[in-house]
Amino acid sequence: MKTSLDHLPEAKRRELSRIVEILFAEFEDALAGKTAPHRKAGRILKVVLYGSYARGDWVQDPIGGYTSDYDLLVVVNHEELADLAEYWGPADDHLLRAYQISRELTAPAHFIVHALSDVNRQLKRGRPFFTDIVKDGVALYEAPDHPFDQPQPLSPEEARHEAQGYFDQWFESAERYFANARENAARSWNNESAFLLHQATERLYHCLLLVLTLYSPKSHKLNFLRSQAERVAPQLIEAWPRDSRFAQRSWELLRRAYVDARYSPHYRITPEELAWLIERVGVLADQIERLCRGHVRSLTAPPDEVAQSS
């Protein structure tokens, strides 16, 4: 695996060093006072940068409002230590503050956590998400003597079968939530509609990630899921304009809807904001359906046939 960050500006390299520092410090705090042997012996074995900053094609567009996120894989030495709620919530909060409050970071930082045994299982099964990380990722930290296993190929037949199953499950589910969101909006049940739109959007992103990479993080956070999906399919950036306060506020209302639209007496969304979100989720659904169907076809059809149908 690559270890050089020479393709990044010095300021970006400093930010990544700070991110690693935060991850280690918060994980150490999370383990403090734990008595179970595997917890006391808990270790971070690797921190791997993947995505646009690893490849060198990151975007920072202050005019259009789009900024590539830092994407990191944290590898630990025990399955339980990958539990995000139990061990990694403070690290997530700290990184968010470092971007939004203290401005230590010029881009959001997102991370996923897996045990080394789990990553190696995924590599042996040929899962594209993990094989791409091994191929293109940059190791920011590696403990000695804990290598990744050699990635194994995945047959097109297996990939097609899994991808089709994921599409059938997740896209249909997203469509149901989207239809219910539109029905609730027509009845002026705006908060309920916003929550259902969140669920439709979440399912659309999971659908895309599962179909294209056979992996999706277990998360309800739309900012994170959007960044992961746009990393895989940059054309999805167009679904969410970021160049106006109205667009940014509407997205924020959608992001918050998972909790606040159900439980907060202060959550308010206007019919105009809701109508805009319905329009944009419709655009997103059309894009994801096209991308997923095209990907499944590509796993079964000869290359020239795929090119003609795209």
In a domain? residue 267:
yes
Q: Could you tell me how far CA 218 lies from the centroid of its own chain?
A: 9
pLDDT, tens digit, 9 for 90 and up, residues 75-107: 999 999 999 999 999 999 999 999 999 999 999
Q: What is the pLDDT of residue 306?
A: 46
Structure tokens at 288: 């994801």
pTM to 2 decimal places: 0.89
The pairing of strands 44-50 and 70-76 is antiparallel
Residue 49 near residue 138, CB atoms below 8 Å: yes
CATH number reported for the structural domain that contains residue 106 in this entry: 3.30.460
pLDDT, tens digit, 9 for 90 and up, residues 7-37: 999 999 999 999 999 999 999 999 987 666 6
Q: What is the dihedral of CA 200, 202, 204, 207, to 10 degrees?
A: -130
- Give the model's confidence band at 300: pLDDT under 50 very low, under 70 low, under 90 confident, else very high: confident
Distance CA 295, CA 160 (A): 9
In a domain? residue 167:
yes
Give the domain range for residue 233. 156-309
- Region 179-198 average pLDDT: 98
Q: What angle do CA 110, 111, 117 make, to 5 degrees?
A: 165
Question: Do 212 and 134 share a domain, yes or no?
Answer: no
Please report, as a single letter, which amino acid is at residue 138.
Answer: V
CATH number reported for the structural domain that contains residue 211 in this entry: 1.20.120.330
In a domain? residue 137:
yes
Question: Do 29 and 88 share a domain, yes or no?
Answer: yes
Question: Do 138 and 160 share a domain, yes or no?
Answer: no
